Amino acid sequence: MKYPIGIQSFEQIINDGYVYVDKTDLVYQLTLGKIYFLSRPRRFGKSLLVSTLENYYLGKKELFKGLKIDALEKEWKTYPVFHLDFNGKNYNDKDALIETLTGFVEEQEAQYGRDPYHNSIGDRFAYVLKSAHQQTGHRCVVLIDEYDKPLLDVMDLPEKIRVNNVDITLEENHRNILKAFYSTFKLADADLQFVLLTGVTKFSQISVFSGFNQPNDISMDNQFDALCGITDDELEFYFKSAIQELADNYGYSYEEMHEVLRRQFDGYHFGNRLKGVYNPFSILNTFFKMDIRDYWFRTGTPTYLVRLLQDSNENLNDLTGKYYDESEFVDYRADKEKPLPMIYQSGYLTIKGFDREMRTYLLDFPNDEVKKGFLTMTANSYLATKEDAGSWVRSAVIALKRGELEKFKTLLTSFLASIPYTARRKENETEKERYFTYTLYLIFRIASCYITYIEKEQSYGRLDCCVETSEHVYIFEFKLDGSAEAALKQIEDMGYANEFLASGKMIHKIGVNISSETGTVADWKVEERKR
């Protein structure tokens, strides 16, 4: 089986015999509308979707032979297609965006002509669309891939440039240019057959799409929730032999291997029916290399997300595992430093539940690959320890799996002690409590990728949790500037261990007191109950 790693050309995938997950029935449904916007995380198949639509509208019927759309489409017309891809260029330079748009329009003018009376890029493109419509007798198709890259490249840059005697940021400059360009589509409505804009982030329409005939945002439409990505049924249909081969390599049964893949790469939901999809980039790389790694996360570090978290004064434990109204995470507004929309749209959080009565969505990490990678990155940035948080967690998990509680205590003590004083220094008691709560949240949530982690209760000043392995149950109660004895008593008084008494596992009750002065474990008491 040939896997299209890094190949985004539909034509090449079909002609060269690469495996292709047939989504063309959904593509056909898409063509029944006119103007769309689709948000999906990076490396989720957006460019392949654009390429598929391009070949469809160019009338290349032979490429679609035997696919689902072959039985649906009867006419196969040929339209003038304009494909603008913002990938492949860094837009940190103030002239990069206008150069990209100018080059794109000039290329189309060479074929369809230029009106000398139109000077702006938008007006020139509008004339091209009208001319193409008149010359071909068919309305135009416009496909814009990664429309938001010019904005994402510069959104964390404070430097300003002078434009028309006014100092503005590069983000403002690029937004103004794009807004003027997209206004073309309103002027050229009669000349348009189909328009699709794809990207990671849906920037507020007020800031980008004003003057544009509002596109139909299908990012959360149930009809198109599996348009990009691989469903569980598709995984079984197209990759059954690959799953079995991978299982043989790892010494798992087919069912065990399927479950490992699900935990690692599945879990994305893009609508309220909660139809799950796997990250296609990670799945294809896994089968190509016959090895499970964090493929998607390693391809890019979302530094702008870390900045947003730092600047917003919001922690991940304040954002995850909560229900939100759709308006709170769908549109990113550049004038408000709210990290949630950016984190969700970038693929680091996804929909995990839907309250039909309240019409609210539960957001959390999609899978272990994303949870482990993003939390580790956040922990390293937030805690500024010399030791990598991910490496420490793996050592700590091994100790817990082996029942080596004293070793875990040593590891925890040394890790907390390695946090610089400047990182943990806080102005008041509330902030101190919030800091230590978040510190413990980060390391235990990373650990949950390897073992079962249950939050019993969480509030400022303490983190009640339990960690469960195949042979052990660890129930922790943390206090800040309190006493380990009081923490242990709380475990007993609250009956946290009761639900595990019949498990047959060794139960460890651990009361921990952390000193805000030293920043590490000050006192530690343990009670154990053997099987």
pLDDT tens by residue, 375-428: 998 898 888 888 899 999 999 999 999 999 999 999 999 999 999 888 777 778
More confident residue, 223 or 118: 223
Which band of pLDDT confidence, cut at 50, 70 and 90, is reported for residue 299?
confident
Provide the pLDDT for residue 302.
Answer: 60
Burial of 32 (0-12, 13-18, 19+ CB in 10 A): exposed
Are the C-beta atoms of 394 and 358 separated by less than 8 Å?
no
Provide the pLDDT for residue 211.
Answer: 60
pLDDT digit string, tens, across residues 470-529: 999 999 999 999 999 999 999 999 888 998 999 999 999 999 999 988 999 999 999 998
Provide the pLDDT for residue 184.
Answer: 84
More confident residue, 411 or 305: 411
CA distance readout (Å), 349 to 200, 322, 371, 406: 13, 11, 9, 35
Cα 482 → chain centroid: 39
β pairing state of 166-169 and 160-163: antiparallel
Give residue 173's identity as a one-letter amino acid code: N
**Measured distance CA(158)–CA(171) in Å, rounded:** 9
CA distance readout (Å), 510 to 330, 409, 436: 42, 10, 17
Are the C-beta atoms of 442 and 316 separated by less than 8 Å?
yes
212 pLDDT more than 80: no
Q: Output the six-digit token pair for 307.
A: 């900045």
Provide the pLDDT for residue 58.
Answer: 98
DSSP-derived secondary structure letter, 200: S
**445-476: b or e for each residue (b if 16 or more CB lie within 10 Å)?**
bbbbbbbebeeeeeebbbbbbbbbbeebbbbb
What are the structural domains of the chain?
10-221 (3.40.50), 230-298 (no CATH), 300-364 (no CATH), 384-529 (no CATH)
pLDDT digit string, tens, across residues 240-293: 999 999 999 999 999 999 999 999 999 999 999 999 999 999 999 999 999 999
**Measured distance CA(511)–CA(475) in Å, rounded:** 8
Provide the pLDDT for residue 422.
Answer: 80
pLDDT (mean) for 218-224: 97
CA end-to-end span of the chain, whole Å?
49
Q: Output the six-digit token pair for 270.
A: 């893009």
Provide the pLDDT for residue 460.
Answer: 37
CA distance readout (Å), 32 to 28, 36, 71, 79, 187: 7, 11, 15, 15, 22
Provide the pLDDT for residue 336.
Answer: 57
More confident residue, 88 or 80: 80
- Partners of residue 459 on adjacent β-strands: 462
Which band of pLDDT confidence, cut at 50, 70 and 90, is reported for residue 462?
very low
464 pLDDT more than 80: no
Are the C-beta atoms of 474 and 510 separated by less than 8 Å?
yes
Q: Decide: helix, strand or coil at residue 531.
A: coil
Angle at 34 between CA 278 and CA 206, to 5 degrees: 80
pLDDT (mean) for 208-231: 87
459 pLDDT more than 50: no
311 pLDDT more than 80: no
pLDDT (mean) for 444-458: 80
Provide the pLDDT for residue 104.
Answer: 97
Angle at 486 between CA 483 and CA 487, to 5 degrees: 90
* Mean pLDDT, rounded, of the chain: 91
- Partners of residue 140 on adjacent β-strands: 192
Provide the pLDDT for residue 456.
Answer: 57
pLDDT (mean) for 170-179: 90
**Measured distance CA(37)–CA(224) in Å, rounded:** 12
pLDDT digit string, tens, across residues 50-72: 999 999 999 999 999 999 999 99
pTM assigned to the model: 0.92
